[in-house]
Amino acid sequence: MSEVKFSKEHEWVTVADDIATIGITKHAAELLGDIVFTELPDKGSNAEKDKTVGVVESTKAASDVYTPISGEVVDINQSIVDDPSKINSDPEGSAWFFKLKIKDKSEIDTLMNREEYEKFAKESSS
Amino acid sequence: MNVKKTTLFNLHKKHGAKFVNFAGYEMPIQYKDGIIAEHNTTRNKSGIFDVSHMGQLFIKGKDDLTESLQKIFPTDLKKLSINQSKYSFLMKENGGIYDDLIITKIEDGYMIILNAACKENDLSIIKSKLDSKFELILRDDLSLVAIQGPESKDILEKIIPGVKKIKFMNGNKFSFNLADIYITRSGYTGEDGFEISINNNLVNKLVEKMIEHGSNLIGLGARDTLRLEAGLCLYGHDINEETSPIEANLKWAISKNRINDEFTGAKEIKRQFDEGVKKLRVGIKPDSKVIARESTKIFDEKNNQIGKITSGTFGPSVNGPIAMGYVSNLFSKSNTRVFLEVRGKKIPASICDLPFYKKNYVKGEINVRS
């Protein structure tokens, strides 16, 4: 498993072979508050980098979920649709959103590492 | 304009509040535990709400003041006994609502609780309609705190003995730290509870006592999910200058014996009473878990737009999405099938009775006074 990478839209990505696992960051989950609804992309659909592929809603508001890299959706995490509160309790672990068959590995290089992301998150929320 | 703070600001901060600007005030939207936990705490135990941003208008006068106020409000104020409260409206001539408010008759006149965003405008409208001999004071030396939920009466009784006896929509004067405070049994959550009008220099002490006795601070986020489950309107969203009390399905708040009487908006209200209205406020429940928020368009089965949602969220106690909105009169009956346009998709929903969550108001033992 590779190093975890982060996007400016507060998604995280891990890569194993040609499969990427994507979710939203702890920082994003905290900002959203209690998550009560999740919509994920359809299995088999093609996700295009930086485009909306899903939605998370808290009691306060709805937020789009973007994919930080392109690829075919090969798996989705039904457990966070059934119980969206899992995203608040384990956002960067068991509450992953979807898995992609990566189309272009070079897209991963455009993402931030943890240190860069944490700096970015701190700056954008202050 | 400078953002204002209530006297309890530092206490909110100490308890981990996240703040938002609401009607020009920096108000706590939630504390550490989050909206759902705060919502459930209020439903199951007791919650404290700082509502000091709301206007507390006092008008002094005797019977001639009652006469004059009857010309403004559609409420039978003559029937109010001292310390009794009524929900009412400040209306435009065309029946649109400038504000919804609670009028309480007190010994030397009336106390009117106004929405924060409306209070200055309300004051000038009411002032312009009253003889200048009546004194109107919007008290900013007073805070307003609500304590809501099933355990609230016992908690407050320990701090202020006697409050348990107040009946719903009634109030009375009490004493706290040798100072006069005014307490009504009312609220905005669908739960039994009280609202306490207290001098700014004592409010921190009172709230700290409530926390000591087991109540918890609750933010505006949970206040919104609680009131929406209870089917209560939020001014500026579910009611405004473009909606009348009849359209808002708040007919009950207009005193029956005053329909043919004189008050601002009377002509249009009477017409709407007799002829009916074109749109009505209804409850709406999506079939799925999708939340339809404010401004969501509502369609009929033939894809004609029939209305719009004015409030929508997730209701923690009903464990699903809930909404309120206006639909064309023909579609206002319970169980009517409608479709809500969310992110380009039409999601099925049903018109339903309000409230979503059954009220738990306690009538109280006896009126302390009578």
Q: Sorting pLDDT into bands at 50, 70 and 90, what band is B369? A: very low
pLDDT of the residue at B29: 96
pLDDT at B361 over 60: no
pLDDT at B359 over 70: no
Q: Give the residue from B289, B293, B296, B311 with the most A CB atoms within 10 Å of its CB, the best one to mutate.
A: B289
pLDDT of the residue at A125: 74
Of B30, B35, B291, the CB nearest to A37: B291
B36–A37 CB contact, under 8 Å: no
- ipTM score of the complex? 0.85
- Work out the minimum CA distance from A13 to partner chain B, whole angstroms: 26
A36–B30 CB contact, under 8 Å: no
Q: Which two tokens stand for residue B126?
A: 């009411």
CB A34 within 8 A of CB B36: yes
* Amino acid code (one letter) for A19: I
- Which among A72, A66, A83 has a CA at the least distance from the CA of A13? A66
pLDDT at B365 over 60: no
- Work out the minimum CA distance from A114 to partner chain B, whole angstroms: 25
How far, in Å, CA of B284 to CA of B326, rounded? 10
B314–A62 CB contact, under 8 Å: no
B313-327 pLDDT, tens per residue?
999 999 999 999 999
Of A34, A55, A62, the CB nearest to B34: A34
Of A39, A55, A59, the CB nearest to B314: A59
**The CATH number, out of the four listed (3.40.50.620, 2.40.30.110, 2.30.30.830, 2.60.40.3620), of the domain defined by the range B278-352:** 2.40.30.110
What is the number of CB-based contacts under 8 A between chain A and chain B?
A: 36
pLDDT at B34 over 60: yes
A37–B314 CB contact, under 8 Å: yes
Contacts for A110 with CB less than 8 Å, ≥ 6 apart: none
Give, in order, the Cα–Cα distances in Å from B208 to each of B9, B14, B42, B199: 13, 12, 17, 15
Nearest chain B residue to A36 by CA: give it.
B314
Say if residue B321 is exposed, middle or buried (CB neighbours under 10 Å; 0-12, 13-18, 19+): buried
A16-59 pLDDT, tens per residue?
999 999 999 999 999 999 999 999 999 999 999 999 999 999 99
- Work out the minimum CA distance from B337 to partner chain A, whole angstroms: 22
Q: Does domain A5-108 have CATH number 3.30.1180.20?
A: no
- Cα B126 vs. chain centroid, distance in angstroms? 20
Of B35, B289, B291, the CB nearest to A34: B35
Residues B198-206 have a mean pLDDT of 98
A39–B221 CB contact, under 8 Å: no
Contacts for A90 with CB less than 8 Å, ≥ 6 apart: none
B165-201 pLDDT, tens per residue?
999 999 999 999 999 999 999 999 999 999 999 999 9
Residues of A with CB under 8 A from a CB of B: 33-34, 36-37, 39, 55, 57-62
Per-position DSSP letters for B272-320, written without gaps between them:
HHHH--SEEEEEEEESSS----TT-EEE-TTS-EEEEEEEEEEETTTTE
How far, in Å, CA of B244 to CA of B269, rounded? 8
B262-312 pLDDT, tens per residue?
999 999 999 999 999 999 999 999 999 999 999 999 999 999 999 999 999
B289–A37 CB contact, under 8 Å: yes
Query: Would you list the domain boundaries of chain B?
Result: 1-231, 278-352
Contacts for B329 with CB less than 8 Å, ≥ 6 apart: B276, B277, B278, B279, B280
pLDDT of the residue at B366: 39
How far, in Å, CA of B225 to CA of B321, rounded? 10
Q: Sorting pLDDT into bands at 50, 70 and 90, what band is B2? A: confident
A62–B221 CB contact, under 8 Å: no
How far, in Å, CA of A108 to CA of B104, rounded? 64
Query: Would you list the domain boundaries of chain A?
Result: 5-108
Starting at the edge strand found earlier in the chain, the sheet holding A62-66 runs: A35-39, A52-58, A62-66
**Superfamily of the domain at B1-231:** Probable tRNA modification gtpase trme; domain 1 (3.30.1360.120)
B1-231 shares its CATH topology with B278-352: no
Q: Give the residue from B314, B322, B341 with the most A CB atoms within 10 Å of its CB, the best one to mutate.
A: B314
pLDDT of the residue at A124: 83
Q: Sorting pLDDT into bands at 50, 70 and 90, what band is B368? A: very low
Contacts for B298 with CB less than 8 Å, ≥ 6 apart: B284, B305, B306, B307, B308, B309, B325, B327, B338, B339, B340, B341
Residues A47-75 have a mean pLDDT of 95
pLDDT of the residue at A1: 54
Residues B331-346 have a mean pLDDT of 97
Of B35, B293, B321, the CB nearest to A33: B35
Q: Which two tokens stand for residue B314?
A: 């997730």
Tell me the pTM. Answer: 0.93
pLDDT at A114 over 80: yes
How far, in Å, CA of A21 to CA of B142, rounded? 55
Which residues of B are less than 8 Å from A39 in CB distance? 290
